[in-house]
């Protein structure tokens, strides 16, 4: 019987070849781009901040953080919702791990504040269920490949913090997949409270309208800096 290996992608894209140098070490103040449909991993040391920008205004970014010194500790949306008492964090909130430690602090949000903590990352199976016969780029594989590209292995597929993803919950508890509500150039900033590996995936979803009504995935930009 085939056993499940969380680190092994179901297919490939250029995520495997676009890693930052030195195993994901950024040059502070440089703006990097995550190409549409791809993922990138970047190392941050405690005290550094990351600014993630939505150039098109309609792109969702799946966002993960792993504790650099033990990848089995990572941001956990279910633990986060417990600590917050709500489903969407705002600036000032601690973003906690599965060990309930605040790996990050949410510092700034220039967008209307609509993000998602409920929905799993898209994956090979999701696109098969949506009717794709061939391989479709997906955020789960982007996470796996982005980590492989810096010499790491995904220990699991944690639920992502889906930046700008608009999944409203109505009074009856029903959810729907809607277009993002942000504008071109909107950004968020998180500060690392511990040494972390961040993984960003410019979600390749082009079947449901989560990346805008035109279903056209776009790039995401990011920069690591020290706020002083
Ligand atoms: Zn996705």
d(CA 179, CA 174): 16
Examine residue 198 and state whether it is found in any structural domain, yes or no: yes
Examine residue 143 and state whether it is found in any structural domain, yes or no: yes
Q: How many domains does the chain have?
A: 1
d(CA 118, CA 78): 8
For 82, phi and psi rounded to 5 degrees? -65, -50
For residue 204, the CA-to-ligand 1 centroid distance in Å is 5
Examine residue 69 and state whether it is found in any structural domain, yes or no: yes
Examine residue 142 and state whether it is found in any structural domain, yes or no: yes
For residue 66, the CA-to-ligand 1 centroid distance in Å is 18
For residue 119, the CA-to-ligand 1 centroid distance in Å is 10
Examine residue 192 and state whether it is found in any structural domain, yes or no: yes
For residue 201, the CA-to-ligand 1 centroid distance in Å is 7
Examine residue 4 and state whether it is found in any structural domain, yes or no: no
For residue 206, the CA-to-ligand 1 centroid distance in Å is 9
Neighbours of ion ligand 1 (CB under 5 A): 122, 139, 203, 205
Examine residue 29 and state whether it is found in any structural domain, yes or no: no
For residue 228, the CA-to-ligand 1 centroid distance in Å is 34
Find, among 55, 51, 63, the residue nearest to 35 by Cα. Answer: 55
Give residue 173's pLDDT: 97
Give residue 1's pLDDT: 74
For residue 203, the CA-to-ligand 1 centroid distance in Å is 4
d(CA 222, CA 54): 9
For residue 172, the CA-to-ligand 1 centroid distance in Å is 26
For residue 82, the CA-to-ligand 1 centroid distance in Å is 24
Examine residue 221 and state whether it is found in any structural domain, yes or no: yes
Q: Which domain holds residue 221?
A: 41-225
- DSSP category for residue 24: H
Give residue 2's pLDDT: 77
Owner of token pair 């599965």? 98
Give residue 82's pLDDT: 98
Q: In a structure prediction context, what are the per-residue pLDDT tens digits for the chain, which is 228 residues long? A: 778 999 999 999 999 999 999 999 999 999 999 999 999 999 999 999 999 999 999 999 999 999 999 999 999 999 999 999 999 999 999 999 999 999 999 999 999 999 999 999 999 999 999 999 999 999 999 999 999 999 999 999 999 999 999 999 999 999 999 999 999 999 999 999 999 999 999 999 999 999 999 999 999 999 999 986
């Amino acid at each position: 019987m085939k056993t499940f290996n969380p680190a092994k992608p179901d297919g490939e894209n250029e995520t495997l070849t676009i890693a930052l140098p030195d195993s994901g070490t950024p040059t502070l103040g440089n703006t990097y781009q995550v190409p549409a449909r791809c993922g990138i991993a970047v190392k941050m040391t405690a005290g550094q901040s990351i600014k993630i920008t939505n150039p098109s205004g309609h792109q969702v970014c799946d966002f993960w953080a792993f504790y650099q010194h033990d990848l089995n500790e990572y941001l956990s949306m279910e633990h986060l919702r417990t600590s917050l008492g709500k489903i969407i964090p705002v600036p000032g909130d601690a973003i906690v791990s599965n060990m309930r430690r605040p790996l990050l602090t949410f510092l700034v949000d220039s967008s209307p504040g609509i993000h998602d903590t409920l929905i799993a990352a898209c994956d090979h199976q999701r696109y098969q269920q949506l009717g794709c016969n061939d391989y479709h780029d997906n955020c789960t594989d982007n996470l796996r490949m982005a980590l492989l590209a810096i010499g790491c292995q995904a220990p699991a597929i944690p639920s992502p913090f889906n930046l700008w993803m608009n999944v409203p919950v109505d009074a009856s508890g029903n959810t729907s997949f809607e277009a993002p509500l942000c504008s071109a150039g909107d950004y968020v900033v998180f500060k690392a409270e511990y040494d972390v590996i961040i993984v960003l995936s410019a979600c390749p979803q082009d079947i449901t309208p989560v990346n805008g009504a035109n279903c056209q995935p776009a790039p995401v930009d990011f920069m690591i800096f020290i706020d002083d």
